[in-house]
Amino acid sequence: MARIAIASDHAAVDLKDLLAGWLRKQSHDVQDLGTHGSERVDYPDYGYRLARAIADGDADYGVAICGSGIGISIAVNREPSCRCALVSEPVSAALARQHNNANVVALGARLIGEDMAKACITAFLATDYEGGRHDQRVAKLSHPSLTKESV
């Protein structure tokens, strides 16, 4: 079982609460970082909160949700130790683990149905990183100085 941090803005709070309960029923250690309730909030606040939980080692994986998933995925990816994949179907969710060693999956609550969201998270958690030729690429995501293009 994994330590999973989950966070959303107000637009996605219902899906976030539903998925948090669903993950807990699977015996995952779920940290619900908010938001709580329907008051309008700013998605970057919750994306950064989730990113900090990953960066600090308080969670192994993250689930980040806003209306489209776009805004919160951008926020999470500001943190170099986070590799956040915005997905809408399980093929991408699995590829994010296989090739990118993604540690956060982002979803768009206004665009994805409940069962598809669960299928994405299931594929994400069930899939291992392949390593090998992907290691150098993944390393460059955390250390831009490793890229020959950025010098």
Q: Which helix (H) or strand (E) holds 6?
A: strand 3-8
Site for a second copy contains 54 (CB under 8 A): no
Q: Mark 15-38 as b/e (b = at least 16 C-beta within 10 Å).
A: bbeebbebbeeeebebbbbbbeee
Amino acid type, 43:
Y
Q: Is 66 one of the catalytic residues?
A: yes
Residue from 26, 29, 36, 78 touching a second copy (CB under 8 A): that is: 78
Residue from 5, 8, 15, 77 touching a second copy (CB under 8 A): that is: 77
d(CA 69, CA 123): 18
Q: Which residues bind a second copy (CB under 8 A)?
A: 40, 42-46, 48-49, 52, 67-71, 73-75, 77-78, 80, 83-89, 91-92, 95-96, 99-100, 102, 108, 111, 133, 136-137, 140-141, 144, 147-150
